Chain A
Amino acid sequence: MEGTLVRLTPVEDADFALIARWLQPSVAATMGAGGTAEYRSVESIRSGMSKLPLIMIETRDGRKIGLVQWRTLGHDRSFELGAVVGEPQLWDNGCGAEASLLALDYLFRFKDAHRVQFTTGLYNRRVLTFLFKTGVVIEGILRDYFYFDGCYHDAVVASLLRPEYDRALTELDGLPPVTEMVPAAERELAARSSAPACANAGTACSPIWSRGRDGGARR
């Protein structure tokens, strides 16, 4: 998945030390990972990958700046999504927002998600603003959900369902387009090639890959 500023890439061996540093108690982990900062060894992160996939956020010039992670929650089309941008000086420059949008697109367009959930601290203005602006629905407050800095902190739980995601796509004007895995030229060529066959069969031809952000029907 590739955007204008960043791409999502698989974790490589060399990345685990970076990830361990980002997830340790720090401002970045507390703000990004929703207060779940802890000291973890490279080995424990590596072994936890089977239950909690980690995907690296990489800038277009190849710099690893953070990670996104998700897990299923409740059923296999329901996910909880989180993201960490490791260096505070990299916040507010669009990279974190774009990585989160790419991860959302991946979950809805490739994992057939029906629901994606977010849990973040009530103190986290950046993430809350992102949620409000992307049409994510606030579901409630989790009281005293996090504990750090010697006190408890409330959290916000929010989610996006498939129809809300579809609506958000049309309402988020002015953002860079999502990269399609099948190039538009290939799709057009295939549609033209398959049109006579469909016409002969007397059925409408609507390839699944013609649906999506560019105006086709969605589920």
Chain B
Amino acid sequence: MIEEQVRTLFAKVYQLDTPAEQINVEEPLFGPESRYGLDSLDTLRFIAALQQQYQFDVGSCGTDTFRTIRSIAEFVSR
């Protein structure tokens, strides 16, 4: 459920041509391995959008928290 929401938000924030359901929940979202060409600044933008939706304290996140849809969903559902 949360994974679906995060995936939809990801597609919306970056206005992706790729439909949300085609985003693999374990694929890298940012950096050279990302097929979306997103970088560190984009990570920051997505975190701001996630914070607006889920109201979490980013202080408790790990360095890999925002790598994939799955890791993000696990973090925000805590």
Contact = CB atoms under 8 A, between A and B. Distances in A.
B58 A5 contact: yes
A129 interface: yes
A132 to B, nearest CB: 10
B40 interface: yes
A48 interface: no
Nearest to B62: A61
Contact of B63 (A93, A133, A175): A93
Contacts of A91: 31, 40
Contact-size category for A: 20 to 34
Given A91-B31, A94-B43, A97-B39, A61 B60 contact: yes
B41 interface: yes
Interface residues of B, number: 23
Contact of B64 (A5, A93, A96, A126): A93
A97 B41 contact: yes
A133 B32 CA distance: 16
26 contacts: A4-B47, A4-B51, A5-B44, A59-B63, A61-B60, A89-B63, A90-B63, A91-B31, A92-B34, A92-B43, A93-B40, A93-B63, A93-B67, A94-B30, A94-B43, A94-B66, A98-B44, A125-B32, A126-B39, A129-B39, A129-B41, A130-B41, A134-B41, A175-B44, A175-B45, A176-B44
